[in-house]
Structure 1
Amino acid sequence: MSLAPAVAPVATDPLAERLRELRLQRGRDDWPELVLSVSQDLTLATRGALVAGDPPVLLAPKAPDRELPAPWLAAAQRARLARGVWAGPEGAGWLFAVPVGSVAPVNAAPAPGVLVLEIATRHQIDLALTRERLVAVAALCEAATQAAAGGLAARAALAASAVEAYLQAPDRSAGLTAAAGVLAHATAGVERLALVRISGASPTTIAIADQPVVDRAGNLARLLVGLVEDVLDGPEPSRACTGEPTSPAQQAYVDQFGKRPLLAQLGPARHLGLAVAFAPDHAPGDGEARFAPSLALLERVLQPQPPRLSIGARRRWLIRGGFLAAAVIGLAVAPRTDTVEAPASLQPEWQQTISAPFDGIVAYSTAQPGDHVEAGTTVLARLDTREIELEIAAARARAANELRDATVARAGGQPAQEQLALLSASRAESQLALLRHRLASAELRSPRSGVIVSGDLRKSLGQPVLRGQTLFEIAPDISVRADARVLDEDIRRVEPGQPVRILPDAEPDRPRHGVVERVRPMAEVVQSRNSFLVTVRLEPGAEPLRPGSEGIAHIETGRTTWLMSLLKQPIRYIRKKLWI
């Protein structure tokens, strides 16, 4: 009995596996980092870099502040000129450089790159092995770049063919069916392929390859539209199923037609969707990338074009544009008065405060706010004087007693006692004068003619008041001054002497005129904004206004045009936002 030799299992070559993975990842944005990482893993390199351009620019590793050593730059230049591997000693090790073809994105301009590696050994076997593997890496990079470029061109050609089929069809429905047929026949393993138009996030039209007439309510159409709706409900532009179904729409299709790979994809504008069912033994592969250019181009073709205007409509629009241009020019040259608007309030020319002359009790008062008063005649209030009268009688008695004591001391030849008695009498006379003054000032009269603006003691009869306590405030019954609050962004245009027109809120149709009298130099914060107080003197003879009235002050600051007046606020807003 003869024994057949046992067949050893085929071992996977790690080098081949890493190179295959690198080739499949050519389309990634971090391709330079992947090339450098794989090269360092496959060699004994301790350090490395990938550069491109002349002068060389560091692409990997990403280190903006890193500068390559001069020997590395020289090695990259020599490898580029030699178009092959260059090697030379560097310190205690060895320096290798090899061109790896274009390292730019597939759809960008070519950017030839050079891989530079530093080996920490000078052993001949290690150097030979490093050279061999760098040659393999460089050849694979070149092949991967060419394959990626070829795939991109093939996808663009497929998109052009689909659009051509759509445009040659007699109507849009037939065109969509023809485009679906082109995509299905050009892709291996496709069982069913459908294009779905989307409007307002809802499918509206479905076209299935090789089916000129599609029953929208049919089972197949509903299942294919469901796959597209499944993608519409999520944020991702596509959804594939190569194993177990991951959504109810995929599960429904599998239940009906059996387990098979599925792909649903949307165009970049989400106006066109694609649903593909592959044969059970066929994988979608790069189906998503294959169909993306076709969907994008078909979406642009399917977008409705704006209707062209007729000659009459163009003429009408030209006439309207001419009138608009004339209006703008008119506004640009028509002069008008430049004004600064600010809220204003009418203020009294003066305000007189009536305060309590001494501590006392309110005995009488009939005055109230709004009453007109006359200077020196109108009694505002009267304080209780009974306690003062008693103190006056006591002070008078003390003064008389002290004078009598002074007379007795003089008669008795006691000059010291006489002086003390006279001093006490003088002090009593002073206190008596003060009490008489209080008695005279107990009756509060208005010192000026005007109107009471605050103070009402009618409900405070019998209550005490303190000396200096404000009891009444009197102001003139007409106002000849207005205070306007101008924002700090406008105050530089306001100067004394400028004419002002005030529109009271109560009578906006009856303006009052005046001039700027003064501008307060210090800004104040009012309602969270800086503003300056501008005093306006109303013209003599103007119709009087009561103090406290409010309105809008229009301060005339010069001349401008209507256009600049209209654009003033937008220009100011833009300057604030852009700091210009």
Structure 2
Amino acid sequence: MSSLTQWLELVCKMVPDTQSAVLQHISEQANTKPVYSSWPNSKKPSEKLLETLVFSSQRGAVVTSYSDPYLIVSTHISTQQGNYPFAIRVKVKEDSVEATKKLIQWSIRWLAELLNQAADPLAGPSTKTAVDSVSDASVQTSSLENTTSSSSWYVRWKYGLLALICCAILVFVPVNYRVAVDTVIEGKVQMAVVAPFDGYIKSATLSAGDTVNEGDVLAMLDDQPLRLEQLRLESQLQEYDKGYRKHLAGRDYGQANVAKAKRDQVQAQLNQASLRVEQAQLKAPMSGIIIKGDLTRQINAPVDNGDVLFEISPLHAYRAMLSVKEADIRFIKEGQSAELKLAALPNQIFTLTLLHATPLFDDQDGAPVYLAEAQLEDDDLNNLRPNMEGVARVEVGKAPIGWVLFHHFIDWCRIQYWRWLL
């Protein structure tokens, strides 16, 4: 193996996964004919590497080509003795091409320095020294990589500790704490229209969603039996009245009093029957909107005395009913302000003022919720309708960010600790 091939071998050992390499120099004994040193086989240089080497030498430029998974780099090794065209073929992955190019450039610079320090690059004795120098350089490089790796871990730990300290400080920063509460819009007053007696539905003209005025007829119950009863009582009343006058004319005062008592009794029954005939017309007790009830598809259906047939709520007179969860009821106080967004009006925010939180609760989805009434402070309520739903955020004061994020979990842990460990 020639001395120049040994120099070439040094470079190949410094670049991992080197498949082959070739180095060209001018030999004086060969009448300036180029001489090639190849690795790993000095007698059979790679033809593709030779072509790349000649192409790069003729143009005086660095030539790089990559065809997965092989990278070919052709350049010059500049020393005090001259330039040595150099080509190397390395097996690399696509994402490591740039890193391998830099490593090759670094290796060539090292080889140039070693050639400059050697008295004769073609002499054998200097080769051993060069090999030792390359070994020392490899050790220094490995040490540098270890130092860099340790420094990188130190920087990561430093910034991680800094981030942890910042988070620890951040959890104590006070912010406005708002409790999110499911809310339903209701009318301030809701009046029900109930069945006044047992009967059947005769007709229905209005249903839920319609606007009504006080006294409008919503539906009618079948009053034919009542009218027949009314006629019978009127006939009986005339009979008792005639008997009363007859006994009174004959000065039979005892029988006259009996006839009068029967007449008064029948008159009371007649008044009751007349009232029921009038009540057969189900009228709106107030002006507003029908929020519940639709009898248009229940004609001739039976109803019982006291059944709620319609519910009416006034327009533009609303209240908000907040369903507060059990864990948040302790934060709800009278006079607190809140902001409300409704699903039907997501672009509009309504201002609320809590009136009071009732001690009564309702069962929703298997969990108790407490009802709190709130007053709407906005003037423009034209777009509101009863039973609209949304979410209200109640201002309950300031609290640290950490407490806001984790107080529900901490409360749960306290309950579990109390249940299982005490």
Q: Under TM normalisation by the shorter chain, which class is it? A: 0.5 to 0.7
Return the match for 1:339 from 149, 165, 178.
178
Write the distance in 2 (CA, Å) between the matches of 1:504 and 1:554.
12
Provide Cα deviations, 1:490-544, integer angstroms capped at 9, x if missing partner: 2222211111122323444433221221112244543343432222222241544
- Structure-to-structure mapping, 1:61-140, within 5 angstroms: none
Would you say 1:455 and 2:265 are equivalent positions?
A: no
Write the distance in 2 (CA, Å) between the matches of 1:509 and 1:359.
48
Return the match for 1:361 from 200, 204, 208.
200
Provide Cα deviations, 1:408-443, integer angstroms capped at 9, x if missing partner: 222323221111111122122222222222222222
Would you say 1:434 and 2:272 are equivalent positions?
A: yes
Is the Cα contact below 8 Å between 1:479 and 1:545 reproduced in 2? Answer: no
Write the distance in 2 (CA, Å) between the matches of 1:379 and 1:349.
23
Write the distance in 1 (CA, Å) between the matches of 2:354 and 2:283.
36
Residue 328 of structure 1 and its aligned partner are, at CA, apart by 4.1
Is the Cα contact below 8 Å between 1:356 and 1:471 reproduced in 2? Answer: yes
CA distance 1:495–1:542, shift in 2 (3 Å): farther
Residue 570 of structure 1 and its aligned partner are, at CA, apart by 4.0
Is the Cα contact below 8 Å between 2:351 and 2:378 reproduced in 1? Answer: no
- Structure-to-structure mapping, 1:171-250, within 5 angstroms: none
Residue 398 of structure 1 and its aligned partner are, at CA, apart by 1.8
Would you say 1:465 and 2:303 are equivalent positions?
A: yes
Would you say 1:322 and 2:162 are equivalent positions?
A: yes
Residue 555 of structure 1 and its aligned partner are, at CA, apart by 1.6
Q: Which runs of 5+ in 1 are unaligned?
A: 1-305
TM-score w.r.t. the length of structure 2 is 0.58
Return the match for 1:492 from 330, 347, 366.
330
Would you say 1:548 and 2:387 are equivalent positions?
A: yes
Residue 479 of structure 1 and its aligned partner are, at CA, apart by 6.3
Write the distance in 2 (CA, Å) between the matches of 1:420 and 1:310.
120
Write the distance in 1 (CA, Å) between the matches of 2:195 and 2:361.
35
Amino acid across the alignment from 2:410? I
- Structure-to-structure mapping, 1:527-538, within 5 angstroms: 527-538=365-376
Residue 323 of structure 1 and its aligned partner are, at CA, apart by 5.0
Would you say 1:409 and 2:247 are equivalent positions?
A: yes
Write the distance in 1 (CA, Å) between the matches of 2:412 and 2:149.
37
Match of 1:350 in 2: 189
Match of 2:140 in 1: none
Residue 488 of structure 1 and its aligned partner are, at CA, apart by 2.7
Would you say 1:561 and 2:375 are equivalent positions?
A: no
Amino acid across the alignment from 1:447? P
CA distance 1:534–1:411, shift in 2 (3 Å): closer
Provide Cα deviations, 1:333-385, integer angstroms capped at 9, x if missing partner: 3x311122232222332221111223333322111111111112x21012333
Is the Cα contact below 8 Å between 1:351 and 1:476 reproduced in 2? Answer: yes
Query: Partner of 2:154: helix, strand, or coil?
Result: helix
Residue 317 of structure 1 and its aligned partner are, at CA, apart by 4.6
Query: Partner of 1:501: helix, strand, or coil?
Result: strand
Amino acid across the alignment from 2:295? L
Amino acid across the alignment from 2:281? E
Return the match for 2:224 from 365, 374, 386.
386
Write the distance in 1 (CA, Å) between the matches of 2:291 and 2:199.
23
Query: Partner of 1:473: helix, strand, or coil?
Result: strand
Match of 1:63 in 2: none
CA distance 1:509–1:570, shift in 2 (3 Å): farther
Match of 2:33 in 1: none
Write the distance in 1 (CA, Å) between the matches of 2:157 and 2:324.
44
Write the distance in 1 (CA, Å) between the matches of 2:403 and 2:248.
96
Provide Cα deviations, 1:206-239, integer angstroms capped at 9, x if missing partner: xxxxxxxxxxxxxxxxxxxxxxxxxxxxxxxxxx
CA distance 1:508–1:462, shift in 2 (3 Å): closer
Is the Cα contact below 8 Å between 1:488 and 1:530 reproduced in 2? Answer: yes
Return the match for 1:578 from 403, 417, 420.
417
% of aligned pairs identical? 28
Write the distance in 2 (CA, Å) between the matches of 1:457 and 1:443.
13
TM-score w.r.t. the length of structure 1 is 0.43
Match of 2:341 in 1: 503
Return the match for 2:236 from 385, 388, 398.
398
Amino acid across the alignment from 1:527? D
**Whose strand proportion is higher, 1 or 2?**
2
Is the Cα contact below 8 Å between 1:482 and 1:537 reproduced in 2? Answer: yes
Write the distance in 2 (CA, Å) between the matches of 1:416 and 1:400.
19
Amino acid across the alignment from 1:555? V
Write the distance in 2 (CA, Å) between the matches of 1:432 and 1:367.
31
Is the Cα contact below 8 Å between 1:495 and 1:519 reproduced in 2? Answer: yes
CA distance 1:490–1:467, shift in 2 (3 Å): closer
Match of 1:181 in 2: none
Is the Cα contact below 8 Å between 1:512 and 1:542 reproduced in 2? Answer: no
Residue 559 of structure 1 and its aligned partner are, at CA, apart by 0.8
CA distance 1:574–1:399, shift in 2 (3 Å): closer
Write the distance in 1 (CA, Å) between the matches of 2:290 and 2:180.
32
CA distance 1:308–1:525, shift in 2 (3 Å): farther
Is the Cα contact below 8 Å between 1:518 and 1:535 reproduced in 2? Answer: yes
Write the distance in 1 (CA, Å) between the matches of 2:223 and 2:325.
53
Write the distance in 2 (CA, Å) between the matches of 1:408 and 1:486.
74
Is the Cα contact below 8 Å between 2:207 and 2:290 reproduced in 1? Answer: yes
Aligned length in residues:
273
Q: What RMSD over aligned residues (CA atoms) do the two structures have, in Å?
A: 2.8
Write the distance in 2 (CA, Å) between the matches of 1:337 and 1:365.
53
Match of 2:351 in 1: 513
Query: Partner of 1:363: helix, strand, or coil?
Result: strand
